[in-house]
Structure 1
């Protein structure tokens, strides 16, 4: 089952008579499994925020189909099951955090529960500022309050657009812990963030959006694999001549025993290892090389431009 199902999604702004308009989404297909932590990444102008607003029914697509939690995103009953934190958060400066959560709860048709709201503010680190006017909040505090509002009612789907923008590094750790707790609870998380390291720590699936279409999509660990290339570490004393003869290339500082090897398949890997082990090398560590998310994004966007 999918929390978000998008087929052939298109959105063009400013289209009219004799005007082609600006294409934001050029036929996006994307399925977000229930219970997953899904990250959407891409360069500025890729269409990420337009995609999110289309999924939420805030922007009406030019073409394609969108289903959220099995229903129409414009259905109030469906929207009530979604928690949303927008990229540009506008909060009433004259209100307190407690009053704001009470109003959001009423708009969501939730029972006003002062004790639950207090626990939620404590959870996001705003317990001591609950009675202060929002106008005196820092940007990071406003983001925390927006997250608290998104968490009201234990939503089935959390859609967060740049949730840690303006939050300090320690605060990001706290937010990450909250999001991981929500996923463990069974919530589906859909995250858009330019902070790739945060996305990498939280999400198990990734989609890369570029030029209005999905360039790559899949499990994070699959996207990060760099083909049949391996990082290997041998115990001190291994013969450099034997290792080089088998195709290994040294990496890191001299003498630390780390090498890399590219092979066409697993059989070639085993043959190379057998050759050096027969030559006296003692294998200590073997792992598949993986790119970080920044490298994956750069490669995907580069391929998209070339195509």
Structure 2
């Protein structure tokens, strides 16, 4: 039994994340997740730029966890914050990074789970209904909801929660009549309940968090014992020069100073295709 079994963690959300968090964490760690929506998380930042996020992704997730603990009076709190960036491989595709944080006030612990994956984060400028219909198909509408604004993405007014074609048509007509240039901006709704692709990635980040919650330090037996650093430099099989391929992992504890290095069990070399000298 770990230190989280039969304990309750708060989660502050109005976007349905509690279902995924509880399903994963309760089965993996015995933790019970309790929902509060008594605070409007949109005040901490929105994807539609109505409210700017203050601080980092970590800052926002911590804030949500702390507010949730205060509202429900728990000593465990969960917070999630997503970010959308360019993919780390080509820099050309939309990418979603999800962070799920657990704060344990009783044991003075903070454990974080992460997941990065392709995002359903399309957007377009359209002038005609037929253009919008084509965009909606590529944006996986209606399973993924849409947001519409007049003129551009910075317009202060928008229509959200667009879930069917009639709502889409009504929103398009409204935005067209309020556009200063006759152009309408449309994008995927990035809120978790409105974007199944993102919710799936939140699940993966929660699975990562659960793995860390169940990983105990060999010295002090506290959870969160995980990889701190990766040593790279595996020699190329062709030229012998160091590559970016992994040689060893450094594991560390969140509470005590215990650490360990996990090296390769068998000596091996990197494929020349991974070598910047053989393939500049």
Q: What is the TM-score normalised by the length of structure 2?
A: 0.24
1 or 2 for the larger relative contact order (CA 8 Å, sep ≥6)?
1
Q: Give 1 or 2: higher helix fraction.
A: 1
Q: What is the TM-score normalised by the length of structure 1?
A: 0.23
